[in-house]
Amino acid sequence: MHDTTRLKTSITRIGIFGGTFNPPHLGHLIVAEEVRQQCSLHKIVFMPSARPPHKVHSPLIDSQHRFIMTQLAVRDNPNFEISDMEMKRHGKSYTIDTLKEFRNTYGSHADIFFIMGGDSIFEIDTWKKPEELLGLCHVIVTTRPGFDLTRVNDRFGDRIIFVDVLNIDISSTDIRRRVREGRSILYLVPKGVEEYIRDEKLYLTENVT
């Protein structure tokens, strides 16, 4: 978990990388590092969500498992940290509430960057208070070759930062399927995550994803 006192005094450019991380994989880490370097961020805080409102029909394994796996995934990079802010919040996890809490914690001197995938930006109108959200942070949209920037520019103007990232075709869905089928996930997830999934016997049944 990150030390908020230290960050409050020394870090001014903070990236928030949210997600279910079910499980976290090497693609998440590669994207985060690419964004950190290209946008000159001091830290990226991984934010596992507890009850994301857009996944109400998708059962998740216990949030504590996902938190521990994410903790294992980021432990070797001193520029990555993890927060349980959303997991401790009662009810559904809304990004606007997370951003407000970050702003209250780190103060007006901090530049907060919220990282999202290219497809998610087109769904932002379905999020809670999207206009207020965009006023609380910079939004970094990770894109790949062929992404249609004009669709976003016409809607959001200069409030979005685009970052091209490597096209790493790894998905948590495929990893879960591989585990159920008894196939290897070596080189898809960090070693610590692979061992945790095996030791805790995660993702072995269809109804626990």
Identify whether 182 is part of a domain.
Answer: no
| CATH number of the domain enclosing 102 | 3.40.50.620
Burial of 104 (C-beta count, 10 Å sphere; 0-12/13-18/19+):
exposed
pLDDT the model gives residue 182: 96
Identify whether 202 is part of a domain.
Answer: no
pTM of the predicted structure, to 2 decimals: 0.84
The helix or strand, by DSSP H or E, that contains position 163, with its residue range, turns out to be strand 160-164
**Distance, first Cα to last Cα, the chain:** 25
Domain that holds residue 92: 4-168
pLDDT the model gives residue 87: 86
pLDDT the model gives residue 201: 96
pLDDT the model gives residue 171: 93
Identify whether 178 is part of a domain.
Answer: no
State pLDDT tens for residues 123-158: 777 888 877 888 888 899 898 766 766 666 556 666
Which residues, 6 or more positions from 60, have their beta carbon under 8 angstroms from its beta carbon?
A: 20, 22, 66, 209
Identify whether 58 is part of a domain.
Answer: yes
Identify whether 76 is part of a domain.
Answer: yes
pLDDT the model gives residue 4: 42
Identify whether 141 is part of a domain.
Answer: yes
Identify whether 174 is part of a domain.
Answer: no
Beta strands across the sheet bearing 80-82: 80-82, 43-48, 13-19, 111-117, 138-143, 160-164
Total number of domains in the chain: 1
Q: Report whether 70 contacts 21 (CB < 8 A).
A: yes
Low-confidence ranges of the chain (pLDDT < 50): 2-9, 56-57
State pLDDT tens for residues 76-89: 999 999 999 988 87
pLDDT the model gives residue 59: 60
Identify whether 39 is part of a domain.
Answer: yes
Rounded CA separation 199/88 (Å): 25
